[in-house]
Amino acid sequence: MKRVAIIGAGCSGLAAIKCCLDEGIEPVCFERENDIGGLWNYCDNPKIGKGSVYRSCVINTSKEMMAFSDFPPPAEFPTFMPHKYVLKYFRLYAENFGLLKYIKFKTSVSEVVPSDDYQATGRWRVTSSCEDGDPETQTFDGVLICTGHHTYPYLPKFQGLENFTGKSMHSHSYRDNRELDGKRVLVVGKFFIVLRRAHGGKNSYTFVENLV
């Protein structure tokens, strides 16, 4: 049986495990956190290297639009789910298809390189370490990278920002309105996340886009 390494147990990693099982492939999923869900696994203290949602985050795609095609969200869940429901939905999906036993939690992948016989076999050597453990290298027939695309914040350099005496932050570390309450806020980048945050609180927002 072919073995495939899956890096990350967010929704992409979970779907990848399920697809491997459907195809008769043995999945081994490495997840550096202690739970599934990726960025929907909300934490009060944002970490660099893990995508993050803010406290009041509600999906902007309806549950019908974002559903796994073989496992719709429960009827009683709200159409636009707050992040806790999204995580609950992913947990139900993982439990329903028995995916959790294929996940090695608290295990980080540090290297993926072609195996010595790569030209003949197309295999990969994957090095991972669990917490407090020594690195371990295994060979796999394939690798699925499901590490997310909001993992590392990108903060462009703006001329003069070093002279600004107020607070400047990336949206990755934003948690809730309270930290900005009563302040005038300049928002750079008109991504939907920014627009969703511009409600509530006694704030005045100015949006600027196409700067970077």
Residue 126 contacts ligand FAD per CB under 6 A: no
Helix axes 11-22 and 83-96, enclosed angle (nearest 10): 20
Binding segment for ligand FAD (CB under 6 A), chosen from 7-15, 162-170, 183-191, 198-206, is: 7-15
In angstroms, the CA 29 to CA 46 distance is 23
**Identity of the residue, 10 or 123, whose beta carbon is nearer to ligand FAD in the bound complex:** 10
Pairing state between β 107-114 and 103-104: unpaired
Residue 87 contacts ligand FAD per CB under 6 A: no
Binding segment for ligand FAD (CB under 6 A), chosen from 37-45, 93-101, 129-137, 198-206, is: 37-45
Residue 62 contacts ligand FAD per CB under 6 A: no
Structure token digits, residue 161? 């920002």
* CA neighbours closer than 13 Å in the CB half-sphere of residue 179: 12
Report the amino acid identity of residue 16.
A
**Identity of the residue, 4 or 109, whose beta carbon is nearer to ligand FAD in the bound complex:** 109
> Of residues 150-169, which lie at the interface with ligand FAD (CB under 6 A)?
150-151
In angstroms, the CA 56 to CA 59 distance is 10
Binding site for ligand FAD (CB under 6 A): 7-13, 30-33, 38-40, 50-51, 53, 57, 59-61, 66, 108-109, 146-148, 150-151, 193
